[in-house]
Amino acid sequence: MIALAVLIPLGAASYAIEFFLAGTPAVMQITVSALQYAFILFLIGYATFRARRYRLSRTVLRGIRFWQTGSNVGYALRMMGYMALTIVTLGIARPVGDIALYRYQMQQTWFGSQKFEFDGRASQMMGKWILSLVLAPFTLGLSLISYAAFRMRYLQSRTRYQGIQFSLPVTFGNLVRIYCPYVVAMMVLVVTFYGVIFAAVAPTIFQDQSLDAQGWMQANAMILSGTSIATALVVFGLISPILRLVMLTHRFIRLVAERLEFIGEFDLDAILQSAAERPTSGEGLADAFDIGGGLEVGI
């Protein structure tokens, strides 16, 4: 209900703005569109941190629960700032944002009465990130998957809790076996989506060779629109989320659960239960934006 209360008015406002801006200078249209995307990005950041707070507050180990401090608005503004920095630098500065946002998350993450620590630095990731960007066109994006595996290993290796170190020995092959089948499945869905629309249009056009295809489509815009919407609801609204859950989220959770290691020992008797109030909501907005899944499992 929280998500719908935000998304429905946002969608209606977007269409209204496009209608009223029709015929205005291009600079005005671009500026307004940029502001709309900035607001959506803010909501995504807000929802991500809010949902993480909720999930941590519902996670318990030996009777002691995790929890999160910090500001949802503060995290969202940081995310927007580092996204802008990444865009301005043509993607080069992405590790700076990754490290800063992850550090903020860890500084606000608690287990009982003690919090996590993180001492990673962007400079230690920058070289591999730039190399993966340069090689991406020549490797069909596989270099980015290699970097993603390195990123997961590095972030966990620099995370501490009461002297304990974490290790997540994820390899390039592990992620390829997760990503590639999912990408192929999504490509099949996209082809299916356009195939259904083409199948609805083709018989009428091919049966009458003298028919003006463009004119027919304009005259039957409502039929085409209805077919597109119905197909999109089934393909991307029903099938796609199920595939993402089964092929991506679940497999990431399994990977982290099997590979995450703890180096060292800590004294559970020294950890006290937190008296902080648990949030009663937090997942709705994140679910609406289809975030908070497999890429955020683990710590």
Higher pLDDT, 145 or 225: 145
- Nearest-angstrom CA–CA distance, 116 and 132: 30
What digits encode the pLDDT tens for the residues 15-35? Answer: 677 667 666 777 777 777 788
What digits encode the pLDDT tens for the residues 231-247? Answer: 777 777 778 888 888 88
Handedness of CA 209, 214, 215, 218 (dihedral sign): positive
- Asked if residue 228 is part of any domain, the answer here is yes
Ranges assigned E (strand) in the chain: 60-61, 64-68, 109-111, 114-115, 117-118, 159-161, 164-167, 261-263
- Asked if residue 194 is part of any domain, the answer here is yes
Say yes or no to pLDDT of 3 above 80.
no
- Asked if residue 32 is part of any domain, the answer here is no
Per the structure, the count of domains in the chain is 1
Residue 233 lies in domain: 185-259
Q: Tell me the angle at which helices 72-88 and 94-107 cross, rounded to the nearest 10 degrees.
A: 170
- Asked if residue 61 is part of any domain, the answer here is no
Say yes or no to pLDDT of 284 above 80.
no
- Asked if residue 198 is part of any domain, the answer here is yes
Q: Angle 237-243-249 (CA atoms, 0-180°, nearest 5)?
A: 110
- Asked if residue 207 is part of any domain, the answer here is yes
pLDDT classification of 203: cutoffs 50, 70, 90: low
- Asked if residue 235 is part of any domain, the answer here is yes
- Asked if residue 90 is part of any domain, the answer here is no
Query: pLDDT at position 78, please?
Result: 93
Taking a C-beta distance cutoff of 8 angstroms, is the pair 79, 41 a contact? yes
Taking a C-beta distance cutoff of 8 angstroms, is the pair 272, 112 a contact? yes
pLDDT classification of 153: cutoffs 50, 70, 90: very high
